[in-house]
Amino acid sequence: MIRLEKRKEPSKFWRIANPFLAVLLTMIAGGIMFAMLGKDPITAIRLIFFDPIFSETFGSYSRPQLLIKSAPLILIAVGLAIGFKANVWNIGAEGQYIIGALFGAGVALAFFPAPGWYIFPLMVIAGAFGGFLWAMIPAILKTRFNTNEILVSLLLVYVAERILAAMALGLMRNPDIAGFPGSRDLRRYEAAHNAELIAGTGIHWGVVAAMIAVIFAYAMMTRHMLGYHVQLAGQAPRAARFGGVSPARLVVICLGISGALAGLAGMFEVSGPGGQVRIEFASGYGFTAIIVAFLGRLNPIGIVLAGLLLGLTYIGGELGQMMLQLPGAAIQVFQGMLLFFLLALDFQTNYRIRLTQGARI
């Protein structure tokens, strides 16, 4: 008879092994799905996982693209993970990302067309501040009125989307083009352009910021008192309170950090790869980053790997559509499988399967 037994302590081995196993199972199950669609599964898996990096034709272009696609995911997820560890659930990073982009772009458009080395740093500060400010709304409502930060932060995404649309149509609209929404192209305004730092590598300031954030988050969580408080509040809230950790302070700090990082990600995107404030600017990075945070086990290093992996499936998925005519929906199912297998496997972390002799009647 098969019996499930709760482990005394979550298994460290499975925590690390599960993501790898999930990728493997996704390849197998995805391969079966591709075969059922009449496509060669080996070619499909290779196009998705290997060709973006190793292909001679695409590699030199898609390797840098991988960084461009993954950097905002990593930057946002690192911030979210800190909050998630402390049981502070910021689900609205998408909104903070949008507001950060608007603040950053707002500074750029206010200075246009003046040159100046100080413009870009000001945009960085404004972007982080915008995201921080937007995250403070759920933080203050939670600490003052005990509202649920999940709901408030999520609903504020829709508010942010409306503000974005209003900005693209009104205040930030490019005055030189009649009738069309969208701001000036920041890529054509040198002082505000978040350009590639080394040509052909895909490394822009957002990638650098993501790396710095990962290092800081890692140091904070392992070496700093605040990191200890975060972990304690997440694992034993009562003990944390007795230990002098102020829950309100922690909520503000966690939402503040994740909001500022999401705002930064938005600012680097709008001044670089995104190029301009448009109604459709937000493409779900803030939500995808939640998956990245969990796929990366809320660990900064894990998040880097998870962000790169998800970025890879996006870029590889496009190659799969292009080269093998895989339907777009099949790619989405494939990405969904990854999360499904991870969650399904995670029960091994907390439970073990025991084969026992038949129960006595």
Partner 1 sequence: MKKLLTAAALSVTMAIPAVADTTKVGFIYIGPVGDFGWTAGHDRARAEMAEHFGDAVETTIVENVDYGADAERVMTQMAISGTDVIFAASFGYGPDVNVVAGRFPNVAFQHATGYIQDHPNVSLYDARFYEGRAVLGHIAGKMTETNTIGYIASYPIPAVIAGINSAYLHAKAVNPDVQFRIIWTYSWFDPALEADAAETLIEQGADVIMQHTDSTAAVRVAEDAGVMAFGQASDMTQFGPNAHLSAIVDRWAPYYINRVQAVIDGTWEAQNSWLGFADGIIEMAPWNDRIPAELQEEADGLIAAIVAGEYHPFTGPINKQDGTPWLAEGETAPDVDLATMNFYVEGITAELPN
Binding site for partner 1 (CB under 8 A): 43, 46-47, 50-51, 54-59, 61-62, 65, 68-69, 161, 165-166, 169-170, 177-182, 185, 187, 269, 273-276, 278-281, 283, 314-315, 318-319, 321-325, 327-329, 332
CB-nearer residue toward partner 1: 121 or 200: 200
CB-nearer residue toward partner 1: 133 or 279: 279
**Tally of CB atoms within 10 A around 349:** 19
Query: Closest approach of Cβ 347 to partner 1, in Å?
Result: 32
SS3 298: coil
CB-nearer residue toward partner 1: 68 or 93: 68
Query: Closest approach of Cβ 109 to partner 1, in Å?
Result: 16
Query: Closest approach of Cβ 62 to partner 1, in Å?
Result: 7
Query: Closest approach of Cβ 154 to partner 1, in Å?
Result: 16
- List the one residue out of 207, 254, 303, 218 whose CA is nearest residue 91: 254
What does the alpha-carbon distance between residue 139 and residue 258 come to, in Å, rounded to a whole number? 11
Q: And the tokens for 38?
A: 């009449």
CB-nearer residue toward partner 1: 51 or 149: 51
CB-nearer residue toward partner 1: 86 or 310: 310
Helix 93-111 × helix 149-169 angle, to 10°: 30
Query: Closest approach of Cβ 60 to partner 1, in Å?
Result: 9
CB-nearer residue toward partner 1: 299 or 313: 313
- 271: Cβ–Cβ under 8 A, 6 or more apart, which residues? 104, 105, 108, 120, 123, 186, 187, 192, 193, 194
Query: Closest approach of Cβ 272 to partner 1, in Å?
Result: 8
Phi then psi for residue 10, to 5 deg, are -55, 140
Could you tell me what percentage of the chain is helix, strand and coil, using 3-state DSSP and rounding each to the nearest 5?
Answer: 70, 5, 25
**For residue 352, what are the β-bridge partners?**
5
- The residue assigned the tokens 């402390």 is 86
